[in-house]
Structures are given as C-alpha cells and as structure tokens.
Amino acid sequence: MRKIGVLCSGGDCQGMNACIKAIVDTCDSNQVEVIGINRGYQGLIENDIRSLKKIDVANIETIAGAIIKTSRSQEFMQEAGFRKAIDNLKLNGIEGLIVIGGNGSFRGARDLVNAGVHVIGIPGTIDNDLFYTERSLGFDTAVQQAVNTVTDIKQTMYANDRAVVFKCMGRHCGDIALHTAVAVEADSLAVNEIEYSVDQIVADLKNSMSHGVTAPVVVMSEGCKLDMDEVVYEIQSQLQLITRGIEIGYVQRGGEPTYYDRMLGVRWGVLAVQLLMQDMTNLALGVKNDKIFYCPLIEVEHVLQEFRVDMVNDLRTLHALPKI
C-alpha cells in the first residue's frame, strides 16, 4: 500500500499523538503517503482530511489529545453516513485505514472491514476496556493523573482529619479505579466488577480508623452502581467524620503522556504501517507481557474481561480485610 489514512475516534487519550507521529515517520521513511482524517469517522463522512508530513508531527509526542482531533459520530452509525465515509476513502485513494480508539471505534472499524475496507485497529482509550489487550493507549497516563490528584488532595484531608471519596473515569471498566486505589493504598474500593455496598465501604473505613487512620480514602469507579453523594453522606453520618466527594474528571485525559503510553504508541504506529505495507489488514494490535501482537480485528469483541481480583486482594490484605 502506498497511501494510508489515520483517524482517532471516541474519547481522546494520551499517546494518540505519539502514535500518529510514529505512523507518519514510518511512512516517510518508506515513501508511503499519510492522510490524516480530522475528527474521526465524522471527518471521514465530511471529507475533512489533510496530508500529514514529517514536519507536521514534529514534537507532538509529548502532548495529550490528538492533533487530528476526535469525535463520537452518530452519523457514521447510520447507513447514509457510513456509505459516505466509504465513498470518501475511495475518492481519496486511501488503500488502508488505521483507526485509533476504544470500544465504539472498534465497532465502527469492524463494520468497515465487513464492507471491504482494509483496516488496522490500535487500542486507544483511557478506560482499558478492550479486553483482548492488556493495555490501551492512555490508560497508564490516566492512572498516573488520578494517582497524582489523590496524592495531592490526601495531604489537605490529612491535615483536617477528613475522609474523602474519589470517583475515577473508566466508563464500565474499573481498571483506572483499581490501579489508582492500589497505588495510593485506598482504604476502600468500589468498582462495577465487584458487588459492594455503602455499608461495606463504611465498615472498611471503620476498620482503617481502628488501625489509626484519621483521613481515610475511598476510590470508586464511574461505572460502579453506588452514588458518590450517598457514600459521602453515609460516611459522614455513620462515622461522624467530615467527608468530601471528588470527581477526578477530565484531568485523567490530560497531562503529558507517560513514557509507557508514548512507547506503546510508537511501537503500534510502526507495526501498523509495516503490516499495511505488506497488505496485512483487518487486524487489531495489542500488548501482552510487554510483547506487542496482532490478531483478527473482527474477533476481539468476544474477549471477556479478566478483572484483577488479585490486586483487589493485595489492597485488602494491606488493611487486614478478608480477601474476596
């Protein structure tokens, strides 16, 4: 293939720019033309494209977000929009398409594969909810951002003997909350994947306080069924402890990408171009035990989550709580 397109879709994540740069640089070294498609599938429908040269991507690897932007396109899910997108790929002579995104973006990519388009999928979402791969781009930085926020806020809570409840992003996946909770030694964790009640959280905090903790920390995930305000209220009233609730929010999608997200972005960018140059397509890229791999894109949706209960139990052991 001599002309390839790249787009980002869904929520942006750190590492997308490093990946785009690696794609452009690898193409430049191999005389392959790169077309950047702005604003994901929506930009493809609107033919909002631009040629990407080495000069356009200089120094972008340290920036979060995506220079070609992203979107969640409703129109792409309609037949007419989908057809327009395919027509524009043909019109521009794009022979292979690299899609960087999460769950929804991969669904779109599979539809394109089924319509005969040559696609490579690169997992890019802070949520880490594409379960065929151990990591997706952005997850590592998002956790680092959450850990930094919790660490900073813990200091003022400690000075005031207050409890604090943090809510992490991640949609239905509790991975950001889990990794953050372990890193900060949270006193209680509530995630979608494990049945947990407000009373159990209060009991966890009571247990920590009986061991001398004066400013206990709860980490919960966005997808967890509990309401943060209710958790705050119950801690406050049952433990007579001033309690604050903090939604960590979009800071988890900002900040300088960690080395790990940059490295993954670079490795997947290089591999995606190499595969397309050999006409190997309809593949999803992933990483397992530090090794990058590829597998059929249309199969990855069937891989189920293996939630890290062992990490939950590390946290519980730390606080002398029974394992689950």
Binding site for ligand F6P (CB under 6 A): 10-11, 102, 125-127, 169-171, 222, 253
Residue 318 CA, distance from chain mean position = 28
CA dist 110 and 117 (Å) reads: 9
Listed residue (72, 78, 59) closest to 9, CA to CA: 72
> Does the CA dihedral 55-57-61-63 come out positive or negative?
positive
User: Least distance in Å: CB of 312 to ligand F6P?
Assistant: 20
> Count of alpha carbons within 13 Å of 163, Cβ hemisphere only?
28
Cβ count near 30 (within 10 Å): 11
Do 128 and 180 contact (CB within 8 A), yes or no? no
Q: Are strands 3-8 and 33-37 parallel, antiparallel or unpaired?
A: parallel
Residue number, 73 or 243, with CB nearest to ligand F6P? 73
Secondary structure element (H or E) that encloses residue 150, with its range: helix 139-159
User: Least distance in Å: CB of 47 to ligand F6P?
Assistant: 24
User: Least distance in Å: CB of 241 to ligand F6P?
Assistant: 29
Listed residue (263, 224, 299, 279) closest to 32, CA to CA: 279
User: Least distance in Å: CB of 264 to ligand F6P?
Assistant: 17
Active-site residue set: 127
